[in-house]
Amino acid sequence: MATIGANPTTDTMHAIVSANPAFGEFLVSKGFPFTLKNPITRLVTFEDVCARRKLDRDAFIAEYEAWLTAGNASTSAAPSEEA
């Protein structure tokens, strides 16, 4: 299964996406208003997002893995700082 960070339970969304820009791309593709410029990303974890949005964590990660496998991630290595 794809990994979204070293510890998605305690790592902030900013740390996760900084280390894995493709996950940020996936979030935006799913309609999340995600940007690293948003200060809340330095406070919330992936677990927080799952709880707030009532997401099935494992299903969401499986969907991310399928998205990656389908080649949807850009080749850009740097995380986007833009909305």
Interval 5-58: pLDDT, tens: 667 678 999 999 999 999 999 999 999 989 999 999 999 999 999 999 999 999
Whether 83 is covered by a domain: the verdict is: no
According to the model, what pLDDT value does residue 78 have?
44
CA distance 80 to 83: 8
Question: pTM here?
Answer: 0.80
Distance, in Å, from the CA atom of 53 to the CA atom of 2, rounded to the nearest integer, reads 21
Q: Which residue range(s) make up the domain with 65? A: 13-30+37-69
Return d(Cα 69, Cα 51) in angstroms, integer. Answer: 26
Domain total in the chain: 1
Measured in Å, how far apart are the chain's first and last C-alpha atoms?
28
In a domain, 76, yes or no: no
Is residue 79 one of the residues assigned to a domain? no
CA dist 23 and 21 (Å) reads 5
Structural domain includes residue 8: no
